[in-house]
């Protein structure tokens, strides 16, 4: 689709639709990625809460088993601390120490009698000392269905950590309250347990008792020394205790909503709270959002820029189209002039000389389609490529060729003569050869024919008398200059008149033609053979002494003597020749003198019986 030919409003509508599409795609992508990030954060928070819940529940269950084991190994008397010897106290103390070493989550194990007094402790340490308020002891004493109780010892000052107590009820044989076996779980155990989770800067993890008092907490660097930075959802916590599963809900906070997971520890009044801040789990989403928005802004800017350029292109294309129409009209006129010109015209670019244009007359001249010539080079049409290179060289140096006769080559390789004009012009900063040609093949053929007729005997095809005399004079001058030998033969057909009278003039003409053929076959290519008139022939032998001339004459005479001519009427004709020979000497001033001496020798051959060779001495 060529957009530059479309109305401008189509381009504007397309740009607006593209911008709207970009905004819609960005909105959908950002909304979906936000939901994905929130769901991922919810899954991470719940997974972290479940893992911590499982670890804490397992630790408390293990501690309860140890306390139950202790309750099976001691008596109510030992629990009360009365009437015990020193050895019994030592054994009981060793039992408590042994059980304490089995559970690393406990900081101390103590026995408390029915009056609420601590009778024995595994560790006699002030920092881990276990004592219960009388109200708590009374509450357990009066509720016989409380087998296991979790109590929180809150510190008197903020510098001390709270202590979680697990108290197991012990009864005597009558089912009456005998006392308690109590284990303390200090924050020194709970805090490392929470620290196993890699807390982001704004995350908060906290373990609370049944009254919401924090037993241990893990907080990111942002809230490390502050209270919980959000409002707890009591309904979600109650739902978690009721359904015994992790509940995640959004809680409002000053710095943005937080995802809070509430997990109740099974069989305990404790709760685990894991909170993730939007600033943490949406950090990557916010970065991606900025990238999406930046990319969208770039796309919108590109769309607007493209719209502007399309608009500009539309205006430019209209102006260009108008100029193209004018240029095309001008080009059509130019082509019309070129195609109708009577001169074959060819254009080729420099320096590679590839044809860029050829008119119909030139294509007909070279006998090939116009399109085929566009894949050829101008020098492919020249028989002599060096001549073409010279013409181009002189044209580039300001000496164009005008009406130069050259031999060109048709597409099938056949030569043709033409007058050629060659010059260079510059078109669009490109140097172009302009070659105009006129076919003169027929004229050259007529010239060659006239030349041939002027120098050749029409019947025999040999040189005529005038050409023979001209060539012979040149050879004579050369022989005189260099002192080379030169000989001449005069040949006459014996009884030629009788052949004409007996068989007719066509037979005589056939005999003359046969003599010419035999002479060309017996003599050298450098020897000049001419028909001087009638049945008389002259043969010039350059670079040949008289002895060699006589041998050549004898061969020629013998070949003629043994030859048989059969006419169309089936007449069988045998004939002979007489030959006179002469060699150039210093007394000969011209070729006529040499001819005269050879003619004298011919006369002598005829007078002495014909069919022989005589030499002029």
Residues that are catalytic: 535
Q: Token match 């056939």: residue?
A: 510
Joined together, the tokens standing for residue 370 give 């116009």
Q: What is d(CA 442, CA 449) in angstroms, rounded to the nearest whole number?
A: 10
Both tokens assigned to 197: 């989770």
457 CB-near residues (< 8 Å, 6+ apart): 463, 464, 530, 531
Q: Rounded to whole angstroms, how far apart are CA atoms 577 and 610?
A: 7
- Say how many CA atoms lie within 13 Å of 527 toward its Cβ: 22
Burial of 380 (0-12, 13-18, 19+ CB in 10 A): middle
Instruction: Report which of 147, 143, 145, 163 is spatially closest to residue 155, judged by C-alpha positions.
Output: 163
**How far from chain centre, in Å, is Cα 410?**
42
Q: What sign for the dihedral angle of Cα 202, 263, 247, 229?
A: negative
Give the CA dihedral 44, 47, 49, 50, nearest 10 degrees.
170
Cβ-based neighbours of 338, under 8 Å, separated by 6 or more = 345, 357, 359
Query: Of 183, 167, 162, 49, which Cα lies nearest the Cα of 104?
Result: 183
* Residue 53 contacts residue 156 (beta carbons within 8 Å): no
**Among the listed residues 561, 570, 459, the one whose alpha carbon sits nearest the alpha carbon of residue 510:** 459
In the chain the first and final C-alpha atoms are separated, in Å, by 101
Between the alpha carbon of residue 80 and those of residues 90, 153, 192, 558, the distances in Å are: 15, 23, 36, 171
Work out the number of other CB atoms within 10 angstroms of the CB of residue 319. 9
349, 431 Cβ separation under 8 angstroms: yes
Q: Where are the alpha helices (DSSP H) in 202-282?
A: 234-243, 278-281
Strands (E), 315-414: 344-349, 355-358, 401-409
If we measure between CA atoms, which residue out of 68, 90, 87, 81 comes closest to residue 112? 81
Joined tokens for residue 87? 């050895």
DSSP state of 161: P
C-beta neighbour count of 73 within 10 angstroms: 10
Give the residue from 540, 524, 550 showing the smallest Cα distance to 605.
Answer: 550
Q: How many residues does the chain have?
A: 617
């Amino acid at each position: 689709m060529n957009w530059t030919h479309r109305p401008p409003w189509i381009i504007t509508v397309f740009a607006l639709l593209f911008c709207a599409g970009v905004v819609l795609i960005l909105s959908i992508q950002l909304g979906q990625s936000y939901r994905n990030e929130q769901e991922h954060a919810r899954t991470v928070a719940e997974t972290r809460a479940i893992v911590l819940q499982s670890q804490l529940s397992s630790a408390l269950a293990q501690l309860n088993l140890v306390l139950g084991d202790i309750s099976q190994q001691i008596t109510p008397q030992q629990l009360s601390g009365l009437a015990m010897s020193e050895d019994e106290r030592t054994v009981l103390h060793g039992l408590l120490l042994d059980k304490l070493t089995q559970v690393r989550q406990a900081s101390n194990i103590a026995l408390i009698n029915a009056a609420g007094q601590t009778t024995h402790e595994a560790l006699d340490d002030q920092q881990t000392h276990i004592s219960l308020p009388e109200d708590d002891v009374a509450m357990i004493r009066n509720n016989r269905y409380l087998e296991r109780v979790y109590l929180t010892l809150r510190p008197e000052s903020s510098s001390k950590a709270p202590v979680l107590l697990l108290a197991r009820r012990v009864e005597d044989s009558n089912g009456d309250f005998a006392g308690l076996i109590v284990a303390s779980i200090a924050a020194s155990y709970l805090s490392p347990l929470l620290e196993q989770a890699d807390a982001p800067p704004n995350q908060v993890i906290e373990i609370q008792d049944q009254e919401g008092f924090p037993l241990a907490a893990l907080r990111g660097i942002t809230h490390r020394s502050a209270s919980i930075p959000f409002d707890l959802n009591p309904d979600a916590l109650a739902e978690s205790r009721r359904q015994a599963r992790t509940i995640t809900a959004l809680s409002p906070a000053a710095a943005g909503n937080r995802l809070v997971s509430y997990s109740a520890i099974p069989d305990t009044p404790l709760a685990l709270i894991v909170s993730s801040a939007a600033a943490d789990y949406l950090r990557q989403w916010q970065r991606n959002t900025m990238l999406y928005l930046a990319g969208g802004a770039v796309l919108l800017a590109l769309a607007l820029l493209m719209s502007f350029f399309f608009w500009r292109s539309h205006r430019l294309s209209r102006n260009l189209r108008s100029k193209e129409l004018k240029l095309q009209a001008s080009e059509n006129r130019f082509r019309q002039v070129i195609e109708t010109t009577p001169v074959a015209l060819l254009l080729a670019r420099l320096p590679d000389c590839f044809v860029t244009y050829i008119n119909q007359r030139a294509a007909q001249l070279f006998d090939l389609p116009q399109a085929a010539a566009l894949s050829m080079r101008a020098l492919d049409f020249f028989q002599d490529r060096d001549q073409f290179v010279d013409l181009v060289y002189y044209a580039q140096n300001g000496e164009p060729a005008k009406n130069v006769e050259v031999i060109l080559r048709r597409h099938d390789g056949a030569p043709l003569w033409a007058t050629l004009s060659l010059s260079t012009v510059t078109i669009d900063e490109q140097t172009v050869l302009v070659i105009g040609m006129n076919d003169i093949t027929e004229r050259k053929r007529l010239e060659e024919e006239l030349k041939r007729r002027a120098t050749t005997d029409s019947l025999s095809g040999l040189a005529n008398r005038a050409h023979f005399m001209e060539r012979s004079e040149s050879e004579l001058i050369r022989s005189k200059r260099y002192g080379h030998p030169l000989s001449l033969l005069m040949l006459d057909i014996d009884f030629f008149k009788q052949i004409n009278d007996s068989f007719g003039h066509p037979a005589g003409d056939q005999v003359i033609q046969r003599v010419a053929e035999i002479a060309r076959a017996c003599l050298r290519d450098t020897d000049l053979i001419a028909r001087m008139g009638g049945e008389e022939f002259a043969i010039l032998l350059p670079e040949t002494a008289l002895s060699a001339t006589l041998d050549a004459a004898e061969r020629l005479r013998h070949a003629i003597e043994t030859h048989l001519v059969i006419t169309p009427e089936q007449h069988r004709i045998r004939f002979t020749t007489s030959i006179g020979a002469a060699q150039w000497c210093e007394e000969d001033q011209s070729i006529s003198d040499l001819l005269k001496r050879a003619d004298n020798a011919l006369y002598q051959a005829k007078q002495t019986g014909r069919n022989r060779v005589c030499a002029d001495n």
